[in-house]
Amino acid sequence: MKPIRSLAARAAATAVLATAPVLLAAAPAHAAPGTWAAIAISVQTGNIGYSYEHPSAAAAASAAVDECNVRGCQTAVQVSNGCAAVAQAPNRSWGWAYAASRVAAEREAVRSTPGKGARVLAWVCTGAHQ
């Protein structure tokens, strides 16, 4: 994973992260009701951590930050009974989204990323739903 080099991209991602995390329940995905998944990112290093099948949003967020394994990781997106994804564009800007399916979460994460050519770097779903 390449580190984020652009100060403008860092500032934009940090500003967006200040308003995150997104906490919303998506439509049911084949999982036990109330399970949570999360993705955390570090805008300084580009590290990503994720977690799934946790009993609470707080537990999922904490596990994702721990998995990110660097200082400064912040939870970008959390979802209950669905899928989440994060994407990054060549200009180092980030985007993320949640949805009822992996395909929909990936599509929306790419669409939410400022800049052209964004690609999905990580996704996570609760349950067996993808």
Structure token pair of residue 43: 């805008």
Whether residue 130 is contained in a domain is answered as no
Q: Tell me the mean pLDDT in the region 88-108.
A: 96
| Number of folded domains that form the chain | 1
Q: Tell me the mean pLDDT in the region 86-91.
A: 96
Q: How far apart are CA 2 and CA 104, in angstroms?
A: 26
DSSP tag of 56 = S
Q: How far apart are CA 45 and CA 71, in angstroms?
A: 9
For 1-23, what is each residue's pLDDT tens digit? 333 333 333 334 433 443 344 43
Whether residue 119 is contained in a domain is answered as yes
Q: Tell me the mean pLDDT in the region 77-89.
A: 94
Q: Tell me the mean pLDDT in the region 27-56.
A: 82
pTM (2 decimals)?
0.75
Question: pLDDT higher for 119 or 13?
Answer: 119
For 44-63, what is each residue's pLDDT tens digit? 999 999 999 999 999 999 99
If pLDDT is split at 50, 70 and 90, which confidence band does 127 have? confident
Asked if residue 31 has pLDDT above 80, the reply is: no
Tokens 């009701």, residue located:
33
Q: How far apart are CA 54 and CA 41, in angstroms?
A: 18
The residue segments making up the domain with residue 33 are: 7-125
Tell me the pLDDT of the chain averaged across its residues.
Answer: 80
Q: How far apart are CA 124 and CA 114, in angstroms?
A: 21
CB 38 within 8 A of CB 85: no
